[in-house]
């Protein structure tokens, strides 16, 4: 096999896919009820027995699991498998608080490798790809997740990890790297450094990249694709569910297919917790239906998006999700208005003079919330006429204000001023909390 296309699962007609999901869900519920005290208690408290779940629509009867549950049962209390069968732990990078731990059996590592290998294949990789894994290796799932998937695919795997950018670029050239895995912000940083070091796209053999672990926009995709000369695919995942490879875009780049034979998605209203219809935007919730180490029922990801049920041209029948517009917990409330950093990003990047690096600074002055956005612009613009710079600033302020419905101040800074991240980018400084 030259790639890892599991046709029999990936193109399974919906009717059969849903049958498989129900069987797996029922088996899983029996399993966690028996093996995991936390779920035994939780189901008892909701007066639900595994046998009460007779169809997929019964899913909504089940209680939710939250990040707080994982924290309360730190470190091993959410595991269903016995400790002897757990072969690996990861922990989330803690973007929003204390560590949350995930445990994997060998079965889970195999599933994870398979969904990652499928994901690489969906983005055009094969056993002849040379995959540079520039996600961090360690407790963070990015590095090892991509690594195992790449090896299962049979690709040449380079465990570069993040950082040491000059060496990465050297390897791109000398090792003839075809495929890049890293955060989208690091991809842009690599593009900057590439230009600085005097490399041209033609020095490399790059074909595609798999970018995720943080929200990014279509405008950022365009920049990455143009500056690195590749196709850029959005890959999504979270350590609690498995890690990267929960969903991936196919070559049509029109939403990420969720590997639904393993992860059952729902969208709920984060306020009322009621299920929403496909196409409606809300919080993404997952039930893992094949994992044995730490299966989760109706896990609230806090990530906001919607599901696309229309069939995809690639032939895969698995539902797609839109980009994550933010997490319900990274939403900023500025002067009472809900603002997501991703809305600001899209508004900024619609203007071509803008470098893809920005920082949103929120402050409260005289009891009024103020928002300032530092944006990098090309150095030559600073020597431009003041009038032009002022016009550009006005245009950006207008775009941003109409995107977020409140006014924002734009402040231009020179290239390289905003600190670059080699992992997840920090885009917001909220001084109101300090």
The binder of Zn ion chosen from 312, 347, 392, 410 (CB under 5 A): 312
Following DSSP, what letter does each residue of 307-373 receive, concatenated? EE-SPPTT---S-EE----EETTT-EEETTEEE-HHHHHHHHHTSTTEEEEEEEEEEEETTEEEEEE
Residue 144 binding: pick among Zn ion, ligand ADP, none (C-beta 5-8 Å cut-off by kind): none
Which segment (33-41, 154-162, 245-253, 424-432) binds Zn ion by CB under 5 A? 245-253
Between 33 and 210, name the residue whose CB sits nearer to Zn ion.
210
Min. distance of Cβ 257 from Zn ion in angstroms? 6
Between 78 and 324, name the residue whose CB sits nearer to ligand ADP.
324
For residue 162, how many other CB atoms are within 10 A of its CB? Answer: 21
**Euclidean distance between CA atoms 14 and 390, whole angstroms:** 54
Min. distance of Cβ 156 from ligand ADP in angstroms? 24
Are 206 and 132 within 8 A, CB to CB? no
N-terminal to C-terminal alpha carbon distance within the chain: 55
Residue 327 binding: pick among ligand ADP, Zn ion, none (C-beta 5-8 Å cut-off by kind): ligand ADP
Residue 215 binding: pick among Zn ion, ligand ADP, none (C-beta 5-8 Å cut-off by kind): ligand ADP
Q: Does 258 bind Zn ion (CB under 5 A)?
A: no
Binding site for ligand ADP (CB under 6 A): 92-96, 140-141, 212-215, 234-239, 301, 303, 324, 327
Min. distance of Cβ 110 from ligand ADP in angstroms? 20
Residue 251 binding: pick among ligand ADP, Zn ion, none (C-beta 5-8 Å cut-off by kind): none
Between 5 and 199, name the residue whose CB sits nearer to Zn ion.
5
Min. distance of Cβ 317 from ligand ADP in angstroms? 21
Site for Zn ion in 316-345 (CB under 5 A): 316
Following DSSP, what letter does each residue of 199-227 receive, concatenated? --GGG----EEEEESS---HHHHHHHHHH
Between 330 and 376, name the residue whose CB sits nearer to ligand ADP.
330
Number of residues written out for the chain: 434
Min. distance of Cβ 57 from ligand ADP in angstroms? 26
Residue 303 binding: pick among ligand ADP, Zn ion, none (C-beta 5-8 Å cut-off by kind): ligand ADP
Between 59 and 220, name the residue whose CB sits nearer to ligand ADP.
220
Calculate the alpha carbon distances from 60 to 120, 178, 285, 348 in Å: 32, 43, 11, 39
For residue 163, how many other CB atoms are within 10 A of its CB? Answer: 12
177-213: burial string, b at 16+ Cβ within 10 Å, e else: bbbbbbbbbbbbbbbbebeeeebeeeebebbbbbbbb
Min. distance of Cβ 402 from ligand ADP in angstroms? 24
Min. distance of Cβ 374 from Zn ion in angstroms? 37
**Euclidean distance between CA atoms 37 and 39, whole angstroms:** 6
| Long-range contacts, 22-27 (Cβ 8 Å, 24+) | 22/55, 22/56, 24/261, 24/289, 24/290, 25/53, 25/56, 25/59, 25/264, 25/287, 25/289, 26/50, 26/53
Residue 46 binding: pick among Zn ion, ligand ADP, none (C-beta 5-8 Å cut-off by kind): none
Min. distance of Cβ 267 from ligand ADP in angstroms? 14
Q: Does 235 bind Zn ion (CB under 5 A)?
A: no
Interface ranges with Zn ion (CB under 5 A): 250, 312, 314, 316
């Amino acid at each position: 096999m030259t790639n890892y296309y599991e046709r029999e699962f990936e193109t399974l007609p919906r009717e059969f896919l849903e049958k498989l999901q129900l069987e797996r869900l029922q088996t899983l519920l029996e399993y966690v009820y028996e093996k995991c005290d936390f779920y035994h208690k939780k189901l008892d408290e909701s007066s639900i027995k595994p046998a009460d779940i007779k169809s997929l629509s019964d899913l909504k009867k089940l209680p939710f699991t939250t990040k707080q549950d994982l924290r309360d049962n730190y470190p091993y209390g959410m595991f269903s498998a016995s400790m002897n069968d757990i072969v690996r732990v990861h922990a989330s990078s803690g973007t929003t608080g204390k560590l949350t731990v995930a445990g994997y059996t060998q079965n889970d590592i195999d599933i994870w490798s398979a969904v990652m290998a499928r994901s690489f294949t969906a983005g055009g990789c094969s056993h002849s790809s040379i995959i540079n894994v520039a996600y961090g290796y360690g407790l963070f799932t990015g590095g090892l997740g991509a690594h195992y998937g790449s090896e299962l695919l049979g690709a040449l795997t380079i465990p570069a990890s993040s950082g040491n950018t000059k060496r990465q670029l050297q390897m791109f050239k000398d090792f003839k790297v075809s495929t890049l895995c890293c955060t989208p912000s690091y991809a842009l940083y690599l593009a900057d450094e590439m230009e600085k070091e005097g490399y041209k796209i033609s020095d490399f053999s790059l074909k595609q990249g798999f970018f995720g672990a943080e929200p990014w926009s279509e405008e950022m995709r365009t920049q990455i694709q143009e500056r690195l000369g590749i196709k850029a695919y959005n890959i999504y995942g979270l350590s609690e569910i498995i890690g990267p490879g929960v969903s991936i875009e196919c070559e049509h780049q029109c939403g990420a297919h969720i590997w639904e034979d393993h992860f059952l998605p729902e969208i709920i209203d984060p306020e009322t917790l009621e299920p929403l219809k496909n196409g409606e935007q809300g919080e993404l919730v997952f039930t893992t239906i094949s994992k044995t180490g730490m299966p989760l029922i109706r896990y609230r990801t806090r990530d906001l998006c919607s599901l696309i049920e229309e069939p995809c041209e690639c032939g895969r029948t698995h539902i797609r999700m839109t980009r994550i517009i933010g997490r319900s917990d990274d939403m900023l409330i500025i002067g009472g208005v809900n603002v997501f950093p991703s809305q600001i990003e899209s508004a900024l990047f619609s203007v071509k003079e803008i470098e893809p690096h920005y920082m949103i600074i929120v402050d409260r002055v005289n009891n009024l919330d103020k928002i300032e956005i530092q944006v990098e612009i090309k150095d030559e613009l600073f020597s431009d006429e003041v009038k032009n710079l002022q016009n550009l600033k006005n245009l950006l302020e207008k775009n941003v204000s109409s995107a977020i419905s409140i006014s924002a101040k734009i402040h231009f800074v020179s290239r390289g001023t905003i600190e670059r991240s080699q992992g997840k980018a920090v885009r917001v400084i909220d001084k109101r909390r300090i």
